[in-house]
Chain A
Amino acid sequence: MTLAAHLYRRMMRRGRVISLVALSSVPGLVLWLVAFDSPQERRAAVYPEVVTSSGYSFAIAVLILTVATLRDERDAGTLPYIYMKPLARPWFAADSILAGAATAATIAVAGWLVTLGAASAIAVDLDVALSGLTLFVAAAVGYAAVFVPLGFLVPRALLVGLGYVVVIESIVASAVEGVAHLSIWRIAVSIYADLAPVFGTVTAQTILGPVVPGAGGGMAKIGAILLVGWLTLTWALRRRDAV
């Protein structure tokens, strides 16, 4: 946990956090703007529609943050200080992903609080918005499991990660059924869709495509992604040069 705490502290630099919170707040701001054009009875349904469809800005914020977990240390030349410590590589990997997930979740909570504020401003039943936290946190954990190892392994991890979010998650996953099942955002939405009381069938189909709403299945998928990310990072720490 000492390593996770160290990495978390290092990543949560004031300037970076402010800009990424702003980026992850986009769904909340869009929600607030869209609500002006919506009749009162439609506003409850607007929340899941807007938040799930504009959530890629949140994914990008999490990407920027989590790829830096070990990449920052590597680029700054400080990785030897933490790598050369008596910490078995599986624990090192677990701590790193935990730190990435914790920072991403911090941004997630901030982004979600903005949506909550927007929801209360437009007089939407807050039950709709409260369950939105699961969407942000599940996505944060899933993305951290992918982007933390990516940051350690790939020199241009941010670019590769952007390619994944923009091309794979938002374009290819919409067209290819198999890829949609592996889309972290869709998995997170599938959890939220199962929990949110007003997540309409049409909206679910639009966002999720072939992915079926289900909190249990979604969490199992996130768990599997975490496992793969952890195994990959453990392997990389053992087999690849640290500097």
Chain B
Amino acid sequence: MTDTIELVEVSKWFGLKVAVSEVTIGFGPGVTGLLGPNGAGKTTLMRLVSGLQRPSQGRLTVLGVDPRKDTDVYRRMTLVPEDESIYERETARRFIETMARLAKVASPKERAAEALATVGLTDSAGRELGKFSKGMRQRAKVAAALVTDPEVLLLDEPLNGTDPVQRAELIRLFSELGRTGRTVIVSSHVLAEVERMADRVVAMVDGRLAAVGSVATIRAAMTDRPRLFYVETSGPRVLGSALLSTDGVLGVHLGGSRLRIEASDARALAMALPRLARDHGVEVTSVYPADESLESVFRYLVGSR
């Protein structure tokens, strides 16, 4: 399938800080999850694709044109920005209608009403956006994007602040948009969110692509990576030496009553640990991961490339 968004060797830097580094990738119809820890470059990548920022280097096209040069592309592409900012003094209805008019949409009032209904804000349409909850604001921003019926929809952390019910609704909506042939890019730092709607995941760390593939591929990479655990025990020396001969344990570091264990297979470690403790007559008081943040997962993925 042809890519609707193409980036070739795209970089963006601000002074000495490199925000996006030599990214070459294409996005086609369907939902793509853009994953990465805070500061990974997701927002900058979104801004580059949306034409809000110019690449310092490289080539970028959306629907075959450079969004910085051909503003007509904005009839077919919209962005839901990450910022909470919104026109506080405007009502939701006026905000969406203005967005429709600026996008030169036919019948802006009717389309605005449809978009508000889609995100479940019809009853609140007459209220000022400044009086909306965070989740309602997010939905109003999504409605502003949907009012143009875009072929390309960029969503920067669109689920922030939404409650579980709203989140499920929005995920269903984005999945539906992807299924109907639109190119939807959703950035998030929560894999579980992306997993529920994306066919494909692009992981970024430090401005670089860390991994590209299906959710299953990323999930496997996360599961297979070496992981660090701390184990508090009454017999660290005995348990440590027993663990060294266990499959899936790559190394053991002794520090007082605490063991730091590097394991390639967390499941195997979980199975072996209680058995070894019982066999050697030692007590295990706690087991906890040393670093389970998504950032550490992505750093591992970057390092393995």
The interface-forming segment of B80-88, B112-120, B213-221 is B80-88
8 Å CB interface, A50-67 against B: none
Encode A67-89 as 1/0 by CB contact (under 8 A) with B. 00000000011111111111111
In angstroms, Cα B87 to Cα A79, docked, is: 10
A114 to B10, CA, bound (A): 57
B179 within 8 A of A: no
Q: Mark B67-108, 1 if CB is under 8 A from A, else 0.
A: 011011111011101011111010000000011011110000
Q: Is the CB of B87 within 8 A of A80?
A: no
B50 on the A face (CB < 8 A) = yes
Q: Are B104 and A86 in contact (CB under 8 A)?
A: yes
Chain B interfacial residues counted at CB < 8 A: 30
Residue of B nearest to A10 (CB): B87
Interchain CB contact under 8 A, B53 and A242: yes
Contact of A81 among B53, B72, B99 (CB under 8 A): B99
A83 contacts which chain B residues (CB < 8 A)?
52
Q: Per a CB cutoff under 8 Å, which of B69, B71, B89, B99 touches A13?
A: B89
Verify B68–A238 contact, CB threshold 8 A.
yes
Question: Which B residues are CB-close (under 8 A) to A78?
Answer: 85-87
Determine whether the beta carbon of A84 is less than 8 Å from that of B50. yes
Taking CB atoms, residues of chain B closer than 8 Å to A13 are 89
B residues in contact with A10, CB < 8 Å: 87
How far in angstroms is the closest Cβ of chain B from A187? 34
Decide yes or no whether B237 CB sits under 8 A from chain A. no
CA distance A84 to B84 in the complex (A): 17
Residue of B nearest to A79 (CB): B52
List residues of A whose CB falls within 8 A of some B CB. Answer: 2-3, 6, 10, 13, 76-89, 238-243
| B contact set with A: CB distance below 8 Å | 47, 50-54, 68-69, 71-75, 77-79, 81, 83-87, 89, 98-99, 101-104, 144
What are the 7 tightest A-B residue pairs by CB atom distance, in nearest-first order?
Answer: A77-B85, A77-B83, A85-B102, A241-B53, A86-B74, A242-B52, A2-B101
